[in-house]
Amino acid sequence: MTSNKNRKESWLVLGASSSVARAFARAAAEDGADIILAGRDMDDLGRTAEDVSVRTGRDVDVIAFDAEDVASHAAFVEDAVNRAGFLNVFLAFGAMPEQDEIDTDFALAERSIAVNYTGALSVLHRLAPHLEEQGDGHVVVLSSVAGDRGRLKNYVYGSAKAGLNTYLQGLRARLFRKGVSVTTIKPGFMDTDMTWGIEGMFLVASPDQAARACLNAARKRRHVVYVPFFWWGIMNIIRHIPEFIFKKMNI
């Protein structure tokens, strides 16, 4: 991922215990970048760090990060920026409580918004000035097709991702002026802990496939990428279903 072969690239991977994030870290390290893994589960991050550095010979660092603890984000970003070479950012964290549980427990709605929306904005807000100063680099964010339309079975999570998508459109315009690309990734279904046990999933992507698509999207400085690509067509149809029909659908 180097536009200048002499500079030392780093990817800061936020939410690094996600299997997509792990696969992304491995792929980015194979591509020649050093990696900073950030997340809550330090044992898991430590195992990934060992695995990635043994496989690739790249430097892999680990930093504690909690998306909900926004008061800690300024110090976290300073630490990450000091450890990084040339900084690129992969944001993978997210939380998807079940909609029927949210319907009876507002705390779960708050958590979904705190992680998927406020947490993402908080850390990106603090990273943005550093990226502007660098004058180049990539930000890749795992959003979701759920943000494209509010569905009966997932509308709180979907609304948080929709807000995130709108924020990323503005951030893309801001950072583009300084040479930094911002890519919104909209996965359909991926085979990860988040979807474990969910019935009725179809066209499921593996974490490796998704990670490779994210890295390619960064290389090409893409704006919005559906993963796998055919979700663009599916969501295009879903977005155009008239509301009077859509509200009756059990999806």
CB atoms within 10 A of CB 166: 12
In this chain, which stretch among 35-43, 79-87, 125-133, 237-245 interacts with ligand NAP, using CB under 6 A? 35-43
Axis-axis angle for helices 19-30, 42-56 (nearest 10): 30
Report the site for ligand NAP in 197-216 (rule: CB under 6 A): none
Separation CA 177–CA 35 (nearest Å)? 26
Least Å from the CB of residue 213 to ligand NAP: 12
Beta pairing, strands 9-14 & 137-142: unpaired
Q: How many helices (H) and strands (E) in the chain?
A: 10, 7
**Which residues does 229 contact at the CB level (< 8 Å), separation at least 6?**
none
CB atoms within 10 A of CB 174: 14
Closest residue by Cα to residue 140 from 87, 85, 81: 87
Identity of the residue, 135 or 197, whose beta carbon is nearer to ligand NAP in the bound complex: 197
| Contact residue for ligand NAP among 31, 51, 68, 79 (CB under 6 A) | 68
- Residue 140 touches ligand NAP, criterion: CB under 6 A: no
Least Å from the CB of residue 171 to ligand NAP: 16
- Residue 159 touches ligand NAP, criterion: CB under 6 A: no
- Radius of gyration of the chain measured on its C-alpha atoms: 18
Contact flags string 10-29 toward ligand NAP, x per CB under 6 A: -----x-xxxx---------
| Contact residue for ligand NAP among 76, 167, 189, 226 (CB under 6 A) | 189
Identity of the residue, 137 or 188, whose beta carbon is nearer to ligand NAP in the bound complex: 188
How big is the site for ligand NAP, counted in residues (CB under 6 A)? 27
Give the residues lining the site for ligand NAP (CB under 6 A): 15, 17-20, 39-41, 65-68, 92-96, 115, 142, 144, 187, 189-190, 192-195
